[in-house]
Structure 1
Amino acid sequence: MPNISEKIVGELEPKLDQHGKPRASTLYYFSGATLQGKKAPAGFAVRVTAAGTKAFVLFHRKDGKGYLETLGRWDANAQGGSLTVRAAIVEAEQLVKDFTKGNREDPRPERTRRLEDGNKPDGLDVAGLLDMFVTRYVEKEAKLRSTDQIKHTFERLVKPEIGDIGIYEIRRSHVINMLDAIADGEGGEDGDAGGPVMADRTLAYVRKAFNWYATRDDEFKTPIVQGMARTKPKDRQRKRVLADDEIRDLWAALETIEDVPACYPRFIKALLLTATRRNEASGMHGAELELPHADDGNVWKIPGDRYKTKLDHVIPLTVAALDEIGKVEKGARFIFSSDGGKTPFSGFSKAKRALDAEIAKRRRADGREPMPNWTLHDLRRTARTLMSRAKVDADHAERCLGHVMAVVRGTYDCWAFLDEKRAVFEALAALVDKILHPASNVELLSAHRAGSADNAALR
């Protein structure tokens, strides 16, 4: 390779294409060429544009992928520049040393990094990806009702573990270690969240975020693969239904519980009597109640934008349910609230712990075993089971829970079934009252004898 000089660079011209026109860019490599004792490293070249502008570049590889980095323009350009040939070789040598010593881990040219990662010098990390996913997809595009839960999970369990890892450096082992910590009850900043189910829920959120971002980035590959889940869907299906004595214990504990908002006992009872989900009941507000409805009595209409099926769900309200809702004042907002209706009740975990402690105290005083673990959603399953026990029509019971019927029937059968649903909720309320106030053996025997006497008289 001959010595490179300012004269040689000045004589370089763009090559012509097949039509005889100057190419947009032509590379002339001078690997190994020297100038005043300075030897150009491998990959050193001069790029000449169709307009004749010349710049020094360095071609290098990282993990088998090639990158072309611009060192700067030749100072003798008519348009101006800052590098002589010798200065360009010196800069190329320093860049090669940085690559060799690991001082330059990201092989992309600075301009490429700015275009792909914005002004963030270290590139996009997992925390930034998750924030982007929440802002663009969860809140803006999908408008998920679980937004708060997703954000809380990211902040508490994911970001402390893998948030500061670059999105191109995240590996399966990082995700697995995070899931292990959550499953063992050691994940997050406070270390109080745990269990296989919570690990799988976190995995589902992160998987969705990674897959979403992968559709926007040609280079990003999600590290999540099949087999990372800790439980099977069948194992996660709960079948817990409260027994009669547990319902009685629950009602009794709600009468004596302390250190919970005044609305909490009414809220818990309403969950069972309306067969609704936790957030649906806590978000009940005066605008959703029609008391009384013009034609169909008292009803609660849950709008589709906060119901799971995204369809409006109408619940006929029984006298028992109305007793828990209480008097709805004009202009009142949220029915179950700890701040006068400004915001819905939300302190579920703390209040539930206090309720469980009260139930445990009562059972312990009676010399009974502790009540098995239960969740607020188990009340909805209990309500559906009691409906069947009351021998109501199964389809009407499913409609009371807001379940969408089969496709064809759901499309063509648009009858609201308010009367039928009201009958189901009345049967549920009657059965709950019977459970709470069971007839004594004497009363049962008296009723049996009275019935026998009536039958004898008829004969």
Structure 2
Amino acid sequence: MPKLTDAAAHKRKADPDKRIEIHDGNGLYLVIQPTGAKSWAYRYRADGKSRKLTLGTLLEQGAKPETEAEGDLPALNVTEARQRASAAAVKMQRGIDPGTERKRKEAKVKKTVSHILDQFIERYAKPNLRSADQYESTFDRLVKPDIGDYSIYEVRRSHIVNMLDDIDDESGPVMADRTLAYVRKAFNWYASRDDEFNSPIVKGMARTKTKDRAGKRVLADDEIRDVWAGLERVAEPSCYAPYVKSLLLTATRRNESSRLHSSEIDGDIWTIPGDRYKTKLDHVIPLTAAAKALIGEKPEGIKANSWFVFSTTGGEKPFSGFSKAKRDLEAAIAEIRKREGRDPMPSWRLHDIRRTARSLMSRAKVATDHAERALGHVIGGVRETYDRYEYLEEKRAAFEALAGLLAVILSPQTNNVVALRG
């Protein structure tokens, strides 16, 4: 018969000299460590050996039972612990070792995309491919920062498509297709080694018809406010909020802002060098007061006047943890919308912010040519060849108009005042 109640479990005292195990029946034990920590364990025999499976910790008095998070142990009351012990006993009757099953699940969770790509490079690419260095460089630069920390079993087609869209936007369709081919080969290699993995890559993902796949998503005003509000809740990394805001205020691509270096800034002028810009030409951006405020001061520990502005390593390396930070931001936005009784925010990606900036410029009555120049687009034909005028003042006016309209959107209560002034 069961011997424990919740009250009795909490009253039992620890022995400072040894661990105590109290049998509750059906293989369930309350384990009390010399430190006073209490947990639940299921003891059983498998393959002729005695084994122990830790089920969880003892739930604090008055608290509600927890739902087990993947890879974590929950806090359980007596009833919950008995239910889990009974479930483990049923598995044993069916010939399933519950301890081995948990270890397999935990190992499965730890297999991230980055881990699998590293395995592919070491076990297959280096011994068999002359282009192994190209694979490794592409994975490190373009794949791992985007989807690297996903479990290989959680990565979806949408994740692959969004990654390819970002590569297409920043490096062109050829690089996107090459990356797709590399990732497809790595995923197919791993699928041949794992019974449970199915590659999310399917036919039709290539960037062969970029115009047909061109993104059209533009954030609405309430979505911009939600992004800003969500960023206030994402405390780590600390550089993420100013980084995302910079994408809208400077209308830049994801990597153009993430790799912003102090050497590229002269007063209120940011010059993105051609060797890291899509057009291969230098792109000059006049920084508004709002944009410049995001840059911040020189990080502590940097001796030379040279550092990456958005960094998690004190300026030594540029920010690259896009996928995890974006998931945290999306979770914060979802919480805000749920609390206010609104529908979830439709899927979006960072490049949509650049498209949103362009749309806001049009809305702010910025001339089309000036807006295109502000985004670094090259005007084709004869003008591309002979018109070398930098349009600096026109760009400055375009970014000031963008910042002004954004300020109105973020503070809608001032709309009436702005309208009267207009």
Provide TM-score, normalisation by structure 2.
0.55
What corresponds to 1:337 in structure 2?
Answer: 311
- What amino acid does structure 2 have at the position aligned with 1:431? L
Identity in percent:
51
Is residue 316 from structure 1 mapped to residue 278 from structure 2 by the alignment?
no
Structure-to-structure mapping, 1:199-210, within 5 angstroms: 204-205=177-178
1:334–1:344 CA contact under 8 A, matched in 2? yes
CA distance in 1, matches of 2:312, 2:176: 33
**Is residue 431 from structure 1 mapped to residue 405 from structure 2 by the alignment?**
yes
2:274 aligned to which of 304, 320, 338: 304
Q: Which amino acid aligns with 1:303?
A: P
In the alignment, what sits opposite 1:391?
A: 365
Give the Å deviation of 1:396: 1.1
Query: 1:275: which partner in 2?
Result: 251
One of 204, 209, 230 as aligned partner of 1:253: 230
User: CA 1:129–1:327 in 2, change beyond 3 Å: closer, same or farther?
Assistant: same
Q: 2:373 is paired with a residue of what secondary structure?
A: helix
**CA 1:241 to 1:136, structure 2 compared with 1: closer, same or farther past 3 Å?**
closer
Alpha-carbon distance in structure 1 between the residues aligned to 2:280 and 2:212: 27
C-alpha distance in 1, partners of 2:292/2:339? 33
Structure 1 gap segments, 5+ residues each: 1-124, 140-145, 157-187, 210-226, 292-297, 452-459
Aligned residue-pair number:
263
- Using a 3 Å threshold, how does the CA distance of structure 1 residues 377 and 131 change in structure 2: closer, same or farther? farther
Residue in 1 aligned with 2:214? 237
Separation in 2 of the partners of 1:434 and 1:348? 28
Task: Determine the C-alpha separation between the residues in 2 that align with 1:338 and 1:198.
Answer: 25
State the shift of 1:256 in Å: 2.8
| Match for residue 378 of structure 2 among 372, 396, 404 | 404
Aligned equivalent of 2:351: 377
1:127 corresponds in structure 2 to: 125
What is the CA–CA distance in structure 1 between the aligned matches of 2:181 and 2:334, rounded to whole Å?
A: 40
Preserved contact between residue 150 and residue 205 of structure 1 (Cα < 8 Å) = no
Separation of aligned partners in 1, 2:367 and 2:136 = 38
Relative to structure 1, the CA distance from residue 389 to residue 347 in structure 2 (aligned partners, 3 Å threshold; closer, same or farther) is same
Q: Which amino acid aligns with 1:311?
A: L
In structure 2, what is the equivalent of residue 175 of structure 1? none
Q: Which has the larger radius of gyration?
A: 1
1:192 maps to 2:154: yes
Q: What aligned pairs does 1:15-414 form with structure 2 within 5 A after superposition? A: 127-128=125-126, 131-133=129-131, 135=133, 148-149=140-141, 190-195=152-157, 198=160, 204-205=177-178, 228-230=203-205, 233=210, 236-258=213-235, 260-291=236-267, 298-328=268-298, 331-414=305-388
Structure 2 CA distance for partners of 1:439 and 1:332, relative to 1, 3 Å: same
Query: Residue by residue, what CA displacement relative to the aligned partner does 1:71-109 show, whole Å, maximum 9, x if unpaired?
Result: xxxxxxxxxxxxxxxxxxxxxxxxxxxxxxxxxxxxxxx
Q: Which one-letter code corresponds to 2:343 in the other structure? A: E
Q: Cα offset for 1:204?
A: 2.4
Is this contact kept in 2: 1:275–1:383, CA < 8 A? yes
Aligned in 2, Cα 1:392/1:131: closer, same or farther, shift over 3 Å?
farther
What are the Cα deviations for residues 182-213 of structure 1, in whole angstroms up to 9, with x where unaligned? xxxxxx9822323178379599227877xxxx
Taking a change above 3 Å as real, the CA distance of residues 434 and 369 of structure 1, as seen in their structure-2 partners, is same
Q: Structure 2 CA distance, aligned partners of 1:196 and 1:366?
A: 27
Q: Deviations over 1:259-310 (max 9, x none)?
A: x11111111111100001111101011100001xxxxxx1001111111111
- Which residue of structure 1 lines up, in the alignment, with residue 66 of structure 2? none
Give CA deviations for 1:386-432 in whole Å, capped at 9, x if unaligned: 00101111111111111111032111111111111001000000000
Give the counterpart letter for 2:221 in structure 1.
D
Q: Per-residue displacement from partner, 1:216-258 (whole Å, max 9, x unpaired)?
A: xxxxxxxxxxx94257645532211111111111112222323
Q: Given the superposition, is the C-alpha separation of residues 230 and 440 from structure 1 closer, same or farther in structure 2, using an over 3 Å criterion?
A: closer
Question: Retained in 2: the 8 A contact 1:197–1:230?
Answer: no
Corresponding residue SS for 2:284: strand
- Cα 1:393–1:138 change in 2 (3 A) is farther
Question: How far apart, in 2, do the equivalents of 1:207 and 1:327 lie?
Answer: 39
Asked if the contact 1:134–1:151 (Cα under 8 Å) also holds between the matched residues in 2, the reply is no
**Deviations 1:355-395, CA, capped at 9 Å, x for gaps:** 11111111111111111111111100000000010111111
Pair 307,147 (structure 1): closer, same or farther in 2 beyond 3 Å: farther
Q: Structure 2: which 5+ runs fail to align?
A: 1-122, 165-174, 183-201
Q: Which has the higher contact order (CA 8 A, sep 6+)?
A: 2
Equivalents in 2 of 1:253, 1:136: separation in Å? 37
